[in-house]
Amino acid sequence: MKAIIIGAGKLGYSIAQMLSSEGYDVIVIDQIEARLQAVDEHLDVQTICGNGASGDILQEAGVYHADLLVAVTEGDE
């Protein structure tokens, strides 16, 4: 199953860790490269740097084939 997580803060990281351990193919999207580097270093997931509200970024992540989309950002965009 495929999951897309928008937001690589503490909550997004925890969700990515949990879903990855359960066998999900996880993609994490965030605009802050440093957060994505921490995710890359510790989790077996894919990352995309960009705005998770952008249609182009969501298409790049494969949103149309995702089973789960979780948005856990600081903004309400």
The secondary element (H helix, E strand) that includes residue 29 is: strand 25-30
Q: Is residue 77 part of a domain?
A: no
pLDDT over 60 at 76, yes or no: no
Give the other-Cβ count within 10 Å of 59's Cβ. 10
Q: Is residue 52 part of a domain?
A: yes
Is the CB of residue 29 less than 8 Å from the CB of residue 4? Answer: yes
**Residue 65 belongs to domain spanning:** 2-71
Name the nearest CA neighbour of 4 among 66, 76, 57: 66
pLDDT over 80 at 77, yes or no: no
Kindly report the CATH number assigned to the domain that includes residue 16: 3.40.50.720
pTM: predicted TM-score of the whole model, two decimal places: 0.93
Three-state secondary-structure class, residue 53: coil
pLDDT of residue 5: 99
Q: Is residue 76 part of a domain?
A: no
Q: Round to whole Å and give the CA distance between 18 and 32.
A: 21
pLDDT of residue 74: 77
User: pLDDT, tens digit, for every residue of 20-52?
Assistant: 999 999 999 999 999 999 999 999 999 999 999
Tokens of 43: 């989790």
